Structure formats: C-alpha cells, structure tokens
A and B are shown apart, each in its own frame.
Chain A
Amino acid sequence: MIGFLFSIILLIILGLIIAWAYKRKLRQINKDASVLLGLLIIGLFWILGILFYLNIFGADGANLMWNFPFNLGIATDKTNLTPYAILLFLSYPLWYLWGLERGYQIWGRRPYQEGILFIFRTNKPGQGLPKEKKME
C-alpha cells in the first residue's frame, strides 16, 4: 500500500471495521476470523508496500512510501532509510491489532457484548433481565 503513514492509518481503520464485523457476524462463522483476515490484510500491505519501496511500480516508489499522502520532506535519496522502513513494515501487525482491540472495546468482542457503548445506551422495557424460561 502506498505510504507508511497512510498504511498505518488504514490498518487501524481496518482493525476497527473488522472488530465491528467480528462482533456482529464473523465470530459466529469462525472464531479466528479477525486474525485470519488480519493476516490477509497485512500480507497484502506488505507485498504492495515492499514492491512500492523497491520501485517495482515506478522510479518514485520509495519517495511515495515516505511522503504520501503528505509531503513530510523526507529526502529518500540522501539518507539510507531502509532500516527504518523495515521497522515500519514490521510494525504493521501492531497497528492492525491496536485498531482491532479499540474496536472490541467500543463494540464488544462476542455477539452478546455491547462494548463501551453499553454504558451510553438506555434499556428497552424489560431488557437486561434474564429470561425466566431459563430457570427450568
């Protein structure tokens, strides 16, 4: 994916979205869904990012990785930035996981959870009580 900064922001947002989808539906399909999707997304980001960084898609790839979407004024031709680039690539899973965890906090992790939003919502009549038939 183009740009380290852009990738990191996107990974966080994707983490949030997948946490929401996981709580609503994905967990019922596969309890490992958020991790499996995460592996897929991060793999994709790595492949595209590395190909960009190695200028496979054009001569300006490395510069774009550092200076997209905002021109941060990082001069890629004067300094060897590769060790920092490797560190940033390696940090991708952490950003995704960070977004995922925040999503779980907001929406909950399991189908019956409501996350922090639970506190800010009001009950419907009778909601919150266990069903009496479960006494049997």
Chain B
Amino acid sequence: MTETALVTGAAGHAGIFMVQLLVQKGYNVIATDLAKEARDELFQGGKWTADDTFMQQLCGTGEVQYIQADLTDKQSLEPLFDHDIDVVFSVASLYDYFALIDVLRKINVGGVRNLAELVLDKSNAKHFIHWSTCGVYGEPSYQKDAKGYPIPITENTPYNPPNSYSISKMEQEQILFELYKNRGLPLTIIRPAPIYGPLQTYGAWHIFHLVHKVGTCVIPSIYPRKHRLRMPMVHVEDLVRAALYIYEYQPKEQVLGQAFNAVCDEGFQDEFIEFVCEILGVKCNRIPIWWPFYKIVSRMALSLAKLQEGRARTKKVRPRFEAAMTGYVTHQYYFSNQKLKDLGFEFLYGGWRKGTLDTITWYKEHGWLEDDIQ
C-alpha cells in the first residue's frame, strides 16, 4: 500500500527536494507551506522560495497535494490531518539569522509544538522526522588526537547555540524530545550542517554570491595547520535522502528518539573557497597567517558584519551577509557523520567538490549567478 508523507516547509529549499524525492519513491505527499506573500514578508524578501506556479508544477504529478497552512495557526494545520499520514517530515522553520528571537520562537518553537501536538492527537503517524541544525552545538571544546588535531563532535555533545536562530532550534528540539519522552512522539531529529544545492538562496549561497560579486578573494592559510578551519556542509539531496533513509530504516527502535548529524565528509575552508574561486573564475591569493593573528582579523570581520547588520536594520533592508554567518570564519565547526553512516547510509556527495561544482553550474545555467560570456 502506498504510504502518505506530510512535508512541512514544502516551498522552501529542502522541502522542495524532499517532496521531489518522495514522489520519485512513490509516496503520496501532502505538501504544506505558507502562502508565497506571507513567506516573502517573513524573510523580508531575503530568500527565494517557490511561488504557486512552481508548486503547482511540482505537484502536477497527482501524487502531491499542496495545502497552504501556517504553523503558528493551529487551526490552519488541522486540514492536513484529514489524510491518513504515515510519516511527517518536519522541514518548516524560519531559517533566518537576521530575524529577531521573538519571531524565531513564535515560529520555530511554538509552530513546531502545534504541529507535533496535532500529530499526536490527530494522526497515527509512525515517524516524525524533524529538521534541526548542527548550529545547536555552537563551538564546543574539541577533543584532540595525538597530533593535536580536533576530533569531530558527535550527537551527544551538549547544546551551546551561538545565535538566535540556533537558540530557537535548541528550544525546538527540547520540546520535541519532551513530547517523545512524555507522549511517545515517534521522533528522530536530523541536524544538517549548512545545506547547499540548486535553488538555494540562503546560507552557502551567500559564499558563492559573495565571491562572485566581489570578484577577488584572499584566502587565509592558517598556521599551525591543526587550527585550519573545517567546512561542514551537506548537499540538499543527501539531506533528504538521509531523512527518507531514516524513515525506512528497520528496526525503528534504533532511530527513534535519536539525533543524527547530516554532514558530508571533512573538508577545509581554505580549499573550499579556492575551489569556488576556480569555478567562478575569480582570482584568489593565499596568504599564510599565524592562528592568533587570524583570530584578530576574523574578529574584525565579525565586527564589520555586525556593523553592516546594524546599518541594514536602520535602513530596513537585509544585510548582504549576516553576522551569524561570519561565525564560520571565526570558529571551528567540525561534526561527525559516523552515526548516520553506521546505519548504512551512503552519501552521494561525500565530499563537497562534486556537489559544489554541480550547484554553481546550476546557478550559472539558470542565470542566478550572472556572467557576460556571449
């Protein structure tokens, strides 16, 4: 019998890919998201999300039903549960580093609580797979190997969220784990590293866009090498595949009540940026830099980003990159994907090279990153 999946945040980046994968695999899909105008207002025009035409095309296959709903309005969610739902892919959240904590809490914490409660009260869903973020760890104190290199953190690392968005995701997780323990919500949490892939305009997109727009690049090559910053990322296709893999995994007991990091194999920031420059045809220079000096310079970059964020807020526009994003150049983020691999999951984009090349090629082919080649 065909199973039915509910996908929230279906018009967002990961949501679109989740819906497409489920359709490919023969699921009936109930896709939901806010109306386009409401999403644009929420993101203050700072993020591309699918419009109704796009969603109609996506849902044109017949296996997908698109129902507009608002997580913060419990009543609007109720029609979703007129269907017999087997699994919920809870993708929807306000992923916006520029948003104020109150707004983030209202949507990410209150909204997901509404959804989870309805799942418990009005459905027989076997699984509730929820999107969180690796950002909930912040920068932990890493254990070191014999040579002094950091060892990637596992899912058991305590919360230490560094920004408002990650705080809201932590609180979201806490509520869901509470519902798992007290009311038996069949929960699994996926913690993606920064997601990249076609159609994305928030997150890794900012790196590509920044390099593309500036047109020149200086790459700090940090010494001693043990301080080199990692580049945790996950391709959107791998992320949605991992979510479905977890749902289909047997025995269920092994994944219920668990969190899984979704991150591709290790890579370094300097090599990543160099690779991006190469694809985009941007001239870049490596500058060897001593770690303590790099920290000073990166803190200055963070201050500049905060200043720009303040200016943008005054002007009531979005900054070109949020201060929280510069956290990736000031802190070491290094996450283990071993737990997911131990389930037998295989990444299509194990490293970031192929995925990055494909993604940038997609942006260029669709004119999202311009060129002037005739």
Contacts and interface: CB of A to CB of B under 8 A. Distances in A.
Interface of A: 27-28, 104-105, 108-116, 118-132, 134-135
Contact of B317 (A108, A109, A122): A122
Interface residues of B, number: 31
A114 B211 CA distance: 10
Q: Is the interface of B mostly helix, strand, loop or mixed?
A: loop
Nearest to A113: B215
Contacts of B225: none
Contact of B372 (A105, A112, A120): A112
Contact of A123 (B216, B317, B370): B317
Given A113-B213, A128-B320, A134 B366 contact: yes
A124 to B, nearest CB: 6
B47 A104 contact: no
B46 interface: yes
Contacts of A114: 213-215
B315 A122 contact: yes
Nearest to B365: A134
A119 B304 contact: yes
B151 interface: no
Contacts of B54: 135
Contacts of B215: 104-105, 108-110, 113-115
Q: Is the interface of A mostly helix, strand, loop or mixed?
A: loop
A125 B372 contact: no
Nearest to B304: A119
A104 B46 contact: no
Given A119-B214, A127-B317, 11 more contacts: A105-B216, A110-B371, A113-B215, A119-B320, A121-B320, A122-B312, A122-B315, A122-B320, A125-B45, A134-B367, A135-B366
A109 B46 CA distance: 26
Given A121-B320, A125-B317, A130 B368 contact: yes
20 contacts: A104-B215, A108-B214, A108-B215, A110-B215, A110-B371, A112-B212, A113-B212, A114-B213, A114-B214, A115-B216, A119-B214, A119-B320, A122-B312, A122-B317, A125-B45, A125-B317, A127-B317, A128-B320, A129-B48, A134-B367
